[in-house]
Structure 1
Amino acid sequence: MKVIICGAGQVGWQIARQLSSERNDVTVVDVNPDLVRRATDTLDVQGVAGFASYPDVLERAGARDADLIIAATHSDEVNMVTCQVAHSVFSIPRKIARLRAQSYLNAIYSDLYRREHLPIDVVISPEREVAEAALQRLAAPSTFDTESFMLGRAQLLGIALDDDCPVLNTPLRQLNDLFSTLRAIVVGVRREGRLFSPDPGDQLFVGDQIYVFTHSEDVNRTLEIFGKKTKKQERIVIIGGGNVGLGVALALEARSDRVRAKIIEKSRPVAERAADSLERTIVLHGDGM
């Protein structure tokens, strides 16, 4: 697959690294020639220095026969125009844009990203993804990893087993008999550096890191069965009131359980913006350190 990545900053560089390692034909575009040089020197990619939204720059990057373009510059507007040019001039079939401004990400404006408007197939927001990851960890703080599936109806939990786990040395098939109403299954075990899918007769031991797929309503019960205490999060401090911190605070305010949250932000304009956007969250102007 031929891919053009616009923006060679941290996000663009990481995407280029991943796609090039999968043997895709990757070209990186950035207005900063030093960033382009860094990408071409460290990765198996080609590079073009110039404004990503300019048609002649995309032409030099091979847009005529590209399969995918990912616009991940620091400017939302440049990313939008880049996707428009990629669609209107070069008919690139798949267009992905990184957008940071929350106004562009508001669900009520999703019709904006249609072919007859702004032809963006997928909108990505790293800040929103970080906020979602933080909220998932808050929902299950005793896990080392969490991931949501089926629009939040199912959760994958990473659980490290300690010596107080009540189901150690128990064949997994017996868990169905012991907890017949539990909607959870152990789908992976990492033991001594090796990750494997367990059989029904396998047992769990101290030090194992297991991955459990469970119904979201059964998360707390699942954690208790594997020896993890579940405690309601009542007071939370968020360091930073930017897109990530503000997103977490807004989500906490929307929850039915009343969580007492505070934001500490050292930039007065950012703190004031956060305070104007929030209702119940206390915003403090100061250094979180």
Structure 2
Amino acid sequence: MKVIICGAGQVGWQIARHLSGERNDVTLIDNNPDLIRRATDTLDVQGITGFASYPDILRAAGAQDADMVIAATFSDEVNMVVCQIAHSIFEVPRKIARLRARSYLNAIYSDLYRRDHLPIDVVISPEREVAEAALQRLAAPAAFDTEYFLGGKAQLLGITLDADCPVLATPLRQLTDLFSTLQSIVVGIRRKGTLFAPEPGDQLFAGDQIYLFTDVADIVRTLEVFGKQTRKQERIIIVGGGNVGLSVARTLEKREHRVRVKMIERDRARAEYAADALERTIVLNGDGLDSELLQEANIDKADAVLTVTDDDKTNLLASVRAKSEGCPVSIALVNDPTLVPLLNPLDIDAYINPRATTVSSILRHIRHGRVRAVYSIGDAEAEVIEAQVLSTSPLAGQLVRDVGFPEGVLVAGLLKKGKVLRVSGGTRIEEGDVIVMFALSEDVPEVERLLQVSIDFF
């Protein structure tokens, strides 16, 4: 597949990294020569320095025979123009644009994105994706990472094991026997910085970060098995009144179960705007690092604090300050993946990586076959892929034990006739089933082969 990616920033670079690693023909366009140089030096991609919205630049990138254009520059308007030119001049079949401005995303203007108007096939909104990720973290405060699958019937949970976890030093095979009715499986373990797919004889140790795939009905019990307590989130404090914070507050206000929300925003004009836009949320104008302001917001009585300013270091420090003032759970927005190792020493419970959520959303729309969801784990270390099993797939009609999955791939779950199943070696995969697989990044191409993607693409 020939793909042109416009914008070589964090998101564009990661998408290029994924696609070039799967032997796709990838060309990156950016007007910053340093970003292009970094990409061509580290990835198997072609690079062009120039403005992506210029027709001659797109032609130089090979738009005339491209299968897809992904417009992920920092400008919404440039991304729109790229898609229009790719459609009108070069007839590129599929166009994806990242749009940030809320006005462009208003549902009443959804007819704008049609082939006879503004020909964008898929619109990706980072703020909307990040706000959804924040809400998922709040729903499972014991987890540092979460994502829903199978239409909301199953969930991926990332949790850190404490020294008092009751199942330490127990082989995973034995856990399966001990909790035979529990619809949960450990699909990934990160130990001493290395992520791997576990085998049945592997044991768990304190400090391990594990990824669990579980039926939503068993989430509470699963967390208890691994030594985590669950509690209702009734009082939330949001530090940062930007698009993400505003979107989270709006959603929390609409919930049937009453959630009391307070927001702290440093910029006075933005705080006034948020106060006007929200109905029940109390908006405080001030610095989220101010101990007196946090006390005024009753931080010690809050169930969780969510720090979502546009500065990573502020988010980390505000989370630390909130915990020191008595808040039991802190969740921070972190753009820079190199800061993630600091979360444990700083006692920050969970984080949201906007790049990972945006990359996951884009991958969901460019994966081959009947792929319904893709979630990128860590710094593109692994993916959790949900897909419908096609009749042409080598998986169809096979027992799990007979498929011959790579070592870095685990079947996390299977949706059969509307019911989520816990998979064993004797489970038969049939046409029409929806399968969820955990795959280390180097094994993703093999997963796509197993899904027999090319026949069903476009």
1:43 and 1:212 map into 2 onto residues whose CA distance is 31
Name the residue aligned to 1:128. 128
Task: Indicate whether 1:116 and 2:116 are aligned.
Answer: yes
Q: Does 1:195 align with 2:196?
A: yes
SS of equivalent to 2:230: coil
Letter in 1 for 2:251: A
2:99 matches 1:96 = no
Alignment of 1:60-75 (within 5 A): 60-75=60-75
Q: Which runs of structure 2 are paired with 1:249-288 in the superposition (5 Å)?
A: 249-288=249-288
Mind listing any 5+ residue stretches in structure 1 that lack a counterpart? none
Give a deviation string over 1:28-80, Cα, whole Å, max 9, x none.
22344454445445544333333322222211221111121111112212211
Amino acid at match of 1:196: A
Pick aligned residue for 1:174 from 177, 183, 192? 177
Asked if the contact 2:161–2:226 (Cα under 8 Å) also holds between the matched residues in 1, the reply is: yes
Deviation at residue 206 of structure 1 after TM alignment: 4.5
Where in structure 2 are there 5+ consecutive unaligned residues?
290-458
Post-superposition offset of 1:260: 1.9
User: Letter of the aligned partner of 2:92 in structure 1?
Assistant: I
Residues of 2 paired with 1:22 and 1:108: CA distance?
A: 38
The aligned residue for residue 228 of structure 1 is: 228
Matches of 1:190 and 1:38, distance apart in 2: 28
Pairwise CA distance, 1:84: 1.5
Root-mean-square deviation (Å): 2.7
Amino acid at match of 1:119: P
SS of equivalent residue, structure 1 residue 128: helix
Give the TM-score normalised by structure 1: 0.85
Specify the alignment match of 1:145 in structure 2.
145
* Distance (whole Å) between structure 2 residues aligned to residue 62 and residue 18 of structure 1: 20
Q: Which moved more, 1:113-122 or 1:70-79?
A: 113-122
How far the C-alpha of 1:123 sits from its partner, in A, is 1.6
Count of matched residue pairs: 285
8 Å CA contact retained: 2:6, 2:70: yes
C-alpha separation in 2, matches of 1:65 and 1:120: 18
Partner of 2:4: 4
Q: 1:184, 1:212 within 8 Å by CA — same for their partners in 2?
A: yes
Question: What is the CA-CA distance between 1:157 and the residue it aligns to?
Answer: 1.3
Query: Does the 8 Å CA contact 2:188/2:195 hold for their aligned counterparts?
Result: no
The 8 Å contact of residues 187 and 198 in structure 1, kept in 2 or not, is answered as no
Give the partner amino acid of 2:197. Answer: F
Where 1:246 maps in the other structure, the secondary structure is helix
The secondary structure found in structure 2 opposite 1:218 is: helix
Where 2:16 maps in the other structure, the secondary structure is helix
> Equivalents in 1 of 2:91, 2:52: separation in Å?
16
Change beyond 3 A, Cα 1:175–1:103: farther
Query: Residue 160 of structure 1 corresponds to which residue in structure 2?
Result: 160
For 2:196, the aligned partner's letter is L
Paired AA for residue 55 in structure 2: P
Query: C-alpha offsets along residues 7-48 of structure 1, whole Å, 9 cap, x if unaligned?
Result: 233332333333334443322223444544454455443333
